[in-house]
Amino acid sequence: MTIDVATGIARILKQEGVDWVSTFPVCRVNNALGREGMTMLMLRDDRYAVAVADAFSRITAGARIGVCTFQGGVNAAGLQYAYAGLAQAYEDGSPVLCITDGVPAGSSGNSQFDVASSMKTVSKWFGYLDKPERVPEFMRRAFTMLRSGRPGPVILAIPNATATYDETADPYRPVKGWKSAPDPADIRAAVALLLEARNPLIYAGEGVIYAGASGELKALAELANVPVITTLKAKGAFPENHPLFVGVRGDQVEHFLHKSDAILAVGSSLSPGRFSHRIPDAAKKNIIHCNVDELHINKIYPTAQAVIGDARMTLQALRQEVSDRTSGAGRPVGTMAAEVKAARDKGFAKYRELMASDEKPINPYRVYGDLMKVLDLHNSFVTHESGNTRDQLSTVFDTLIPRGFLGWGNVSTLGFSLAAAIAAKKASPNRATVAVTGEAGLGYMLGNLEVLLREKLGVTVAHISNGGFAGYGPGFWGPGHDPFTHAVLGPDEVDMSKVIGALGFHSERVREPTEIIPALRRALAANASGRPAYIEFVCCQYPVYGQWVGRSSE
């Protein structure tokens, strides 16, 4: 059977379990995708097309691969605009499949912008389909990379979507994805270091979520009786009401990081970026680094013991070894849980007060505290924006299930929260879904709000409206950090609830702390019938939150 390239791609995507594709037009594979019955989720810009698919891969932990298409080729306007989304997906290691038009044969070198070299810097693989009959080969290779090893985006450029090939010559079989188990000798050495440590600490990264290893993480932590911190991107990998959970950031995290003499890092690159901790006195600690990718070993800090392999198999093997060495008893329980509780109580004291605050304008922590009261934390999705909402929520928001909260952003590209919320609704349509944003994030998402109405996506956008760009405090405000690039029109000048209400959202503006819970309930009720909601919480400027250890505030 002779078919065209675009139809071949559409059929293979269906074989791979893909039933919708996010897009911004034009891309020459789109019509075939539509003809083959693929649901096309059309966003309002190319960056969002990438970000929604990217977020879908993150939220489903790669179990369902997000796929997007956007314009490329000689007129690569879409691709150039999508670059921000691609760079973020690459930075955060998200297994998203991106399909774009390729520069046709005979047209290379015509434009100023070099597609191939730019795409190579933001992808695990950039494949240029130079012959139509290579469709099955390229798709096989793409899905192998998307489902194996360290996650990252794959970009396929299709220079001629209507060229034909024989579909029966190389029949496509779906790709499973492969994992590797760690070397048993490394497991033994790692557990020896762990058991001889006086103050070990588990540092869990997003690899735990991608490996579906939250249960194994909990089992190891409990048997070895080791406290746990998670990275921003792994928030929720460990239940945050567990007696061994220390936090993502805050004074208690600082305390345990400083105190530790061994760090068991699992599924984290341990890269001290803009939104993660440094390991204090790293040279004096034994760092046991469990990772799927050898490129992270000895990357920043000296690795005392590496364990390379899948996080789930690694955690299973570590737990078994701890059990074998301790005749099933694990490390003595001692007072660890009490110590964690005391440190958390101390670290949280001021935030707990703020979460009950009656002050006006509303303290943002009151919104977060009330949000936790309204949501079923076992069946909801919350995400943050770049700026104070990230820093505050990652300090206090209790996450009880993996991906009940999506932390994101090794670099944090404003506007991603709405894309994440759209993807969360696609992944779990019955889950209450809330994106918490400041005004900068809101500005980036305004154009895409129509998508929620058109697609009947019951998402709530909760706006912490404080009339200024805060960003990276402390001291960002007014005469503080960036005095000339701070103030924007705030709630006294513009009523955003009217603006967004006129679009068709259920919208409210809340000034009274006592109105937060009723307003959230009304928004979630509107969401349940497929209507998106926007609530503007008129808040004070309050740049207070847990710090990243070892990073001076800028």
Which of ligand TPP, Mg ion, none is residue 412 near (CB under 5 to 8 Å by kind)?
ligand TPP
At 504, the amino acid letter reads G
Q: What is the DSSP string of 206-257?
A: THHHHTT-HHHHHHHHHHHT--EEE-STTTTSS-TTSTTEEESSSHHHHHHH
Residue 482 CB neighbour total at 10 angstroms: 15
Closest to 30 in 3D by CA, of 45, 12, 10: 10
Cβ-Cβ contacts under 8 Å for 524 (sequence gap 6 or more)? 374, 432, 460, 533
How far apart (Å, rounded) are the C-alpha atoms in residues 342 and 345?
5
The interface region with ligand TPP, picked from 73-81, 152-160, 436-444, 495-503 by CB under 6 A, is 436-444
How far apart (Å, rounded) are the C-alpha atoms in residues 53 and 46?
11
Closest to 528 in 3D by CA, of 427, 458, 426, 425: 458
Closer Cβ to Mg ion, 402 or 438, answer by number = 438
Q: What's the min distance (Å) between Cβ of 469 and Mg ion? A: 6
The interface region with Mg ion, picked from 30-38, 370-378, 411-419, 461-469 by CB under 5 A, is 461-469
Rounded to 5°, angle at Cα 11 from 5 and 15: 140
Residue 386 binds Mg ion (CB under 5 A): no
Q: What's the min distance (Å) between Cβ of 488 and ligand TPP? A: 7
Closer Cβ to ligand TPP, 189 or 440, answer by number = 440
Q: What's the min distance (Å) between Cβ of 550 and ligand TPP? A: 20
* Cβ-proximal residue to ligand TPP, closest one: 438
Q: Which two tokens stand for residue 165?
A: 């090939």
Looking at residues 386 to 425 of the shown chain, list those that interact with ligand TPP (rule: CB under 6 A).
386-389, 412-414
Binding mask 509-538 for ligand TPP (x = CB under 6 A): ------------------------------
Q: What's the min distance (Å) between Cβ of 229 and ligand TPP? A: 24
Which of 62, 151, 347, 438 is in the footprint of ligand TPP by CB under 6 A?
438
Which of 374, 440, 517, 544 is in the footprint of ligand TPP by CB under 6 A?
440
The interface region with Mg ion, picked from 66-74, 148-156, 366-374, 459-467 by CB under 5 A, is 459-467
Which of ligand TPP, Mg ion, none is residue 414 near (CB under 5 to 8 Å by kind)?
ligand TPP
Q: Is the dihedral of CA 194, 200, 204, 208 positive or negative?
A: positive
* Cβ-proximal residue to Mg ion, closest one: 438
Binding mask 85-124 for Mg ion (x = CB under 5 A): ----------------------------------------
Cβ-Cβ contacts under 8 Å for 366 (sequence gap 6 or more)? 354, 355, 356, 357, 358, 359, 513, 516
Looking at residues 425 to 454 of the shown chain, list those that interact with Mg ion (rule: CB under 5 A).
438-439
Can you list the alpha helix ranges (DSSP code H) found in 356-415? 364-374, 388-396
Closer Cβ to Mg ion, 316 or 466, answer by number = 466
Cβ-Cβ contacts under 8 Å for 353 (sequence gap 6 or more)? none
Q: Is the dihedral of CA 500, 507, 422, 10 positive or negative?
A: negative
Residue 466 binds Mg ion (CB under 5 A): yes
Count of residues in contact with Mg ion, rule CB under 5 A: 3
Closer Cβ to ligand TPP, 408 or 469, answer by number = 469
380-406 exposure pattern, b = at least 16 Cβ within 10 A, e = fewer: bbbbbbbbbbbbbbbbbbebbebbbbb
Exposed/middle/buried for 448, CB within 10 Å: 0-12, 13-18, 19+?
buried
Which of Mg ion, ligand TPP, none is residue 386 near (CB under 5 to 8 Å by kind)?
ligand TPP
Looking at residues 444 to 503 of the shown chain, list those that interact with ligand TPP (rule: CB under 6 A).
464, 466, 468-471
How far apart (Å, rounded) are the C-alpha atoms in residues 36 and 7?
7
Residue 98: phi and psi, rounded to 5, are: -115, 125
Q: What's the min distance (Å) between Cβ of 462 and ligand TPP? A: 11
How far apart (Å, rounded) are the C-alpha atoms in residues 36 and 414?
34
Binding mask 390-429 for Mg ion (x = CB under 5 A): ----------------------------------------
Count of residues in contact with ligand TPP, rule CB under 6 A: 18
Check if the beta carbon of residue 150 is closer than 8 Å to that of residue 293.
Answer: yes
Residue 547 binds ligand TPP (CB under 6 A): no
The residues that touch Mg ion, with contacts defined as CB under 5 A, are 438-439, 466
List contacts with ligand TPP (CB under 6 A). 385-389, 412-414, 438-441, 464, 466, 468-471
